[in-house]
Amino acid sequence: MVFPHEYKNKTLVVKIEERDDPLSEIFSDEFFGELIRLNVHGARAVAFDLTGKQYFNSADLGVLIKIKDMLMDEGLELILINTSDKTRELLQMVGLIDFFHLVEREQDI
């Protein structure tokens, strides 16, 4: 599965849409490998643009933590762009708001 993506300021920006399956259903070693393969321009970070994703459940949060850890092992940072109010509230509630690098807009990376 190839997600729409672009490169901006040495960051691979991957667009995650509401219509896409939950991260907990699409994440696999193949998905992670695809993220690494997409990094053909030597990006320093991978950013998920969540403009179209309004809701995350606890399984999705677990996946984000796993992705962040795996990217860190590769020397890459995970950035979340334009998280919804509900997602930020969930991150705050479970104590992960400071764990993730959140930015309001793609222009802020």
Percentage of residues in the chain with pLDDT exceeding 70? 92
Percentage of residues in the chain with pLDDT exceeding 90? 39
- The predicted pLDDT at position 2 comes to 64
pTM of the model: 0.85
In tens, the pLDDT along 7-21 reads 998 999 998 876 656
Q: CATH assignment of 5-108?
A: 3.30.750.24
Q: How far apart are CA 79 and CA 29, in angstroms?
A: 20
Domain segments of the chain as ranges:
5-108
Question: Exposure of 84 by Cβ count < 10 A (0-12 exposed, 13-18 middle, 19+ buried)?
Answer: middle
